[in-house]
């Protein structure tokens, strides 16, 4: 298996990346050193590592929001020079706008991409439905539970049909059962081919979650952060064998 050539198109390619943050006059904080990462279409990849090891920094680099101190990043073979259109992000703390409704929060990404209003409405409604929030279009974030807020965060990312979905500890602000339900819903969408993305890169602290959801697990070392190990989850993948009865237990 491992010797077979992988012909799936490469989305993101990070080569020899270094990131140093300015600390004080005498020293810089080197957060990432010689990070290499390739993501192909169709992959779900986990990034597992200690707090402060540079995982969020790497996601910012992958999304084009941060230019690394050194190294090369390409998207579909072209150098990344700014925010990449084909990438959308889900944040640990949801990052919703409290003064906007669910519908308005979800439409934001489309607005930024210049999608006309009627199409924005239609696509936002479809994304809200898909993620299980139908009927809550006019609610404000403060009226929703944590799990529902993160569903809004997911809908806002998914509505643009990104080639690459980045998720930065998407479930860690949620209680265990809410997290498990959302995880299972996402896995179902992916397995059914209904998740409108080509690939996923997710940061997590949860080893079980990484094994259940992902094809590859990149284990990050700290000080400085780099990909120290890579594990492949064997086929048949456990996400295809998930016991759907679980949902009946928690619902
Ligand atoms: P992780 O997501 O793995 O917890 P981060 O990428 O958030 O790690 O941060 C890695 C290190 O870089 C931490 O020590 C953090 O304090 C520092 N850091 C992150 N962003 C900045 C920044 N904008 N300026 C200075 N230091 C930063
Ligand atoms: Mg982080």
For 86-129, what is each residue's pLDDT tens digit? 999 999 999 999 999 999 999 998 988 889 999 999 999 999 99
CB 182 within 8 A of CB 94: no
pLDDT of amino acid 141? 97
Given a cut of 80, whether residue 247 has pLDDT beyond it is: no
Cα-Cα end-to-end distance for the chain: 39
Query: Would you place residue 7 in the very low, low, confident or very high pLDDT band (cuts 50, 70, 90)?
Result: confident
State the pLDDT at residue 31: 93
Which is more confidently placed, 28 or 217? 217
CB of 21 within 6 A of ligand 1: the answer is yes
Rounded to whole angstroms, the Cα distance separating 239 from 214 reads: 8
Bridge partners (DSSP) of residue 18 are 70
What's the rounded mean pLDDT across residues 221-235? 86
Cβ–ligand 1 contact at 181 (below 6 Å): no
Determine the Cα–Cα distance for residues 190 and 192; give it in Å rounded to an integer: 5
Q: Determine whether the shortest distance from the Cβ of 53 to ligand 1 is under 6 A.
A: yes
pLDDT band for position 223 (50/70/90)?
confident
Report in angstroms the alpha-carbon separations of 131 from 114, 176, 249.
23, 19, 20
* Residue tagged 């906007």 (tokens): 100
Structure tokens, 235 = 């086929």
ipTM exceeding the 0.95 mark: yes
Separation between Cα atoms, residue 68 and residue 248, nearest integer Å: 46
Quick count: other Cβ atoms within 10 Å of Cβ 238? 13
Beta bridge partners of 13: 38, 74
Q: Is the CB of 23 under 6 A from ligand 1?
A: no
Mutate to test the pocket of ligand 1, among 29, 49, 50, 63 (most ligand atoms within 8 A of CB): 29
| Residue 121 CA to ligand 2 centre (angstroms) | 32
- Please tell me the predicted confidence (pLDDT) of residue 57: 96
Q: What percent of the chain has pLDDT over 90?
A: 72
Please tell me the number of the ligand nearest to residue 55's CA. 1
d(CA 41, CA 55): 21
Q: CA-CA distance, 80 to 73, in Å (whole number)? A: 6
Ligand 1, atom nearest to 49 Cα? 3
**Predicted local distance difference test score (pLDDT) of residue 153:** 97
**Mean pLDDT to the nearest integer, 18-30:** 88
Any atom of ligand 1 within 6 Å of the Cβ of 57 = yes
Mean pLDDT of 15-28: 90
CA of 225 to the centre of ligand 1 (A): 11
Is the CB of 204 within 6 Å of ligand 1? no
Mean pLDDT of 204-222: 90
Residue 234, pLDDT > 90, answer: no
């Amino acid at each position: 298996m491992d010797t077979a050539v992988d012909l799936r198109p490469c989305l993101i390619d990070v080569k020899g990346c270094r990131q140093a943050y300015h600390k004080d006059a005498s020293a810089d904080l080197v957060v990432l050193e010689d990070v290499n990462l390739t993501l192909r279409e169709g992959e779900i990849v986990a990034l597992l590592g200690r707090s402060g090891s540079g995982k969020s920094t790497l996601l910012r680099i992958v999304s084009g929001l941060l230019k690394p101190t050194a190294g090369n990043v390409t998207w579909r073979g072209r150098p990344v020079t700014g925010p990449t259109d084909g990438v959308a992000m889900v944040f640990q703390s949801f990052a919703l706008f409290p003064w906007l409704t669910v519908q308005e929060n979800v439409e934001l990404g489309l607005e930024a991409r210049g999608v006309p209003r009627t199409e924005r409405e239609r696509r936002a409604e479809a994304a809200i439905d898909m993620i299980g929030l139908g009927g809550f279009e006019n609610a404000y974030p403060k009226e929703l539970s944590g799990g529902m807020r993160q569903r809004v965060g997911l809908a806002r990312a998914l509505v643009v049909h990104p080639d690459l979905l980045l998720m930065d500890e998407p479930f860690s602000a949620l209680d265990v059962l809410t997290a498990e339900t959302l995880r299972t819903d996402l896995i179902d969408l992916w397995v059914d081919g209904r998740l409108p993305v080509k690939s996923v890169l997710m940061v997590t602290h949860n080893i079980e979650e990484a094994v259940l959801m992902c094809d590859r697990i990149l284990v990050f070392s700290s000080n400085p952060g780099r990909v120290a190990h890579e594990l492949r989850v064997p086929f048949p993948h456990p996400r295809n064998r998930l016991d759907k009865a679980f949902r009946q237990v928690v619902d």
